[in-house]
Amino acid sequence: MALLVMKFGGTSVGSIDKINNVANIIEKQLIDKKLIVVLSAMSGVTNKMQEYIDEIESNEIIENDLILTSGEAVSVGLLSAILKKRNIKSIPLLGWQIPIITDSNHQKAKILNIDKVRIDKYLNDYDDLVVAGFQGVDVDGKITSLGRGGSDTTAVAVAAAVDAYRCDIYTDVDGVYSTDPNLEPKAKKIDKLAFEEMLEMSSTGAKVLHTRSVELAMKNNLTLQVLSSITKERGTLVVDENKLIEKEIVSGVSSVSYTHLTLPTSDLV
């Protein structure tokens, strides 16, 4: 059965209503697929955790990562519970349970390994795995975080590890735009662009996706789709250059001077 990885950002899981909406999207996809769903914390939660850390002026990197990554346990637990109420075979998984092994660079940890055999076993027993983004565990068993906005990178790394056919990143914008649609009403949504173009955009400050997630997708030739959990329209595909059939779209994008691009902010929370 086809395997799709979906990632929902903080604004997409920002309330129980919104998590129910995510469950609706998942239910539709489950008709003909198995799913791995990666979540961020509910919007605002990670910021709140950072405020607590700042308030006690903690320099304790082990504790800080434990605190920072706690919001994902809540969103993952809530979504999986809602799915089970709908009789969907779902399991909530934190980073250490898979495990997602990282190096020990707290707050900017790099993923070293993801246990594919374990994930395959879970996929045998369940139709939907709900996985906490942004977190991992180092070889000493300490909880690590990947850096703010890092759940995109979790989603792409998991998708690459299990050979998913695509990774859909749901956010609060319905795709990648040539200019900020909030400032320019005629801004056009880009249907398809190459990894390189997406990377160039993020290097000039357009923070739709966590940069490392795009690099990782490019390295693994994994197609990404950026789309909205509200509008339910087709989003923007980020693909290998060779997969760009509609060449005129590419050149259209390339002719835009990236330094003038302003894109909607990400759902970094």
Binding site for ligand ASP (CB under 6 A): 10, 40-41, 46, 71, 133-134, 148-151, 268-269
Token pair, residue 106, equals 């707290």
Rounded to whole angstroms, the Cα distance separating 54 from 205 reads 26
Q: Give the one entry of Mg ion, ligand ASP, none that residue 133 binds, where binding means its C-beta sits below a cut-off of 5 to 8 angstroms depending on kind.
A: ligand ASP
Rounded to a whole number of angstroms, the minimum distance from the CB of residue 148 to ligand ASP is 4
Comparing CB distances to ligand ASP, the nearer of 72 and 174 is 72
Element (H, E) at 253: helix 247-254
Nearest to 198 by CA among 155, 159, 244, 157: 244
Is residue 243 within 8 Å of residue 223, measured between CB atoms? yes
Is residue 107 within 8 Å of residue 64, measured between CB atoms? yes
Rounded to a whole number of angstroms, the minimum distance from the CB of residue 12 to Mg ion is 10
Rounded to a whole number of angstroms, the minimum distance from the CB of residue 210 to Mg ion is 6
Comparing CB distances to ligand ASP, the nearer of 90 and 213 is 213
Q: Give the one entry of Mg ion, ligand ASP, none that residue 266 binds, where binding means its C-beta sits below a cut-off of 5 to 8 angstroms depending on kind.
A: Mg ion
Q: What residues line the site for Mg ion (CB under 5 A)?
A: 9, 149, 266-268
Residue 111: HSE in the Cβ half-sphere, 13 Å Cα cutoff: 28
Comparing CB distances to Mg ion, the nearer of 146 and 268 is 268
Radius of gyration of the chain (CA): 18
Rounded to a whole number of angstroms, the minimum distance from the CB of residue 209 to ligand ASP is 10
Please provide residue 75's backbone torsions phi and psi, each rounded to the nearest 5 degrees: -65, -40
Q: Give the one entry of Mg ion, ligand ASP, none that residue 90 binds, where binding means its C-beta sits below a cut-off of 5 to 8 angstroms depending on kind.
A: none
Rounded to a whole number of angstroms, the minimum distance from the CB of residue 95 to ligand ASP is 12
Rounded to a whole number of angstroms, the minimum distance from the CB of residue 128 to ligand ASP is 20
Distance, first Cα to last Cα, the chain: 34
Rounded to whole angstroms, the Cα distance separating 137 from 145 reads 8
State yes or no: cis peptide before 185, omega within 30 of 0. no
Q: Give the one entry of Mg ion, ligand ASP, none that residue 206 binds, where binding means its C-beta sits below a cut-off of 5 to 8 angstroms depending on kind.
A: none
Q: Give the one entry of ligand ASP, Mg ion, none that residue 195 binds, where binding means its C-beta sits below a cut-off of 5 to 8 angstroms depending on kind.
A: none
Residue 65: HSE in the Cβ half-sphere, 13 Å Cα cutoff: 24
Comparing CB distances to ligand ASP, the nearer of 208 and 253 is 208
Element (H, E) at 35: strand 33-39
Comparing CB distances to Mg ion, the nearer of 29 and 211 is 211
Comparing CB distances to Mg ion, the nearer of 106 and 212 is 212
Q: Give the one entry of ligand ASP, Mg ion, none that residue 99 binds, where binding means its C-beta sits below a cut-off of 5 to 8 angstroms depending on kind.
A: none
